[in-house]
Structure 1
């Protein structure tokens, strides 16, 4: 199970983890905290579904949201960096996307942007196009992708 791997890797490196989630609504934090002993590693999770929450809780800049929109690598970067700044964590993953149904020509259903911030290193971002596979599936795929990003960064 990938969540257990993340916890084991973080514990071995004595690192704390935070999550900043929008479209997944806390699914990454839940996957981690479902495992006994996770309190040794998980510091906190931010569910920042609205733009206001992204601004208030994570320090995402209003001009970043206005220029790029909530579903962008720029916002994912600021979310991940904000999770580090507003926590005791050493590593944070951020997720913002369009789970569906819906979307637009420029931001289709299934587009999810991720940010990964590890103290002392440049924040990484990426966009994954999961496609119009349904809201539940996009959210599960996003959760799993975020956990894979954490595991890879901690390995």
Structure 2
């Protein structure tokens, strides 16, 4: 009876597509938002403009607010949010290609991880999606299997 929603940036819907490829996904899948631009992160998910300006879209603060926004928009029990730099361009010394932040949340708790992946764009996106599901299970196993 539990359900899940997503807010994705660098994975561009890959996390949702993985769940959607499973027969019966509609029993647990509430919906997904692909929020590539900062404007959409702000308007659709309520990510604070100050966070986007001072910390950036690729930050722990941003993905935490994305996850909470996904929960608020969908009414789901759990949310996954991802933002990062999949490359090959877009990286910097402070935020290199492969830096990805993942958040998993419910109404009471939000867990955020900073991940560093290497490889090409597809590999970074794939690893980000898989790590997001892993983090959900690590963080909320007891609530999920009740």
Distance 1:38 1:153 in 2: 21
Distance 1:45 1:145 in 2: 17
Q: TM-score normalised to the size of structure 1?
A: 0.87
Equivalenced residue count is: 140
Distance 2:36 2:2 in 1: 26
For residues 19-39 of structure 1, the C-alpha deviation after alignment (integer angstroms, 9 at most, x for no partner) is 110000000111001111110
Correspondence for 1:139 among 119, 125, 131: 125
SS at match of 1:77: helix
Quote the residue 1:114 is aligned against.
102
Q: Which runs of 5+ in 1 are unaligned?
A: 1-13
Quote the residue 1:150 is aligned against.
136
Matched, 1:128 2:115: yes
Quote the residue 1:11 is aligned against.
none
Q: CA RMSD in A?
A: 0.9
Correspondence for 1:87 among 74, 92, 106: 74
Matched, 1:104 2:85: no
Quote the residue 1:22 is aligned against.
9
SS at match of 2:5: strand
Q: Which runs of 5+ in 2 are unaligned?
A: 142-146
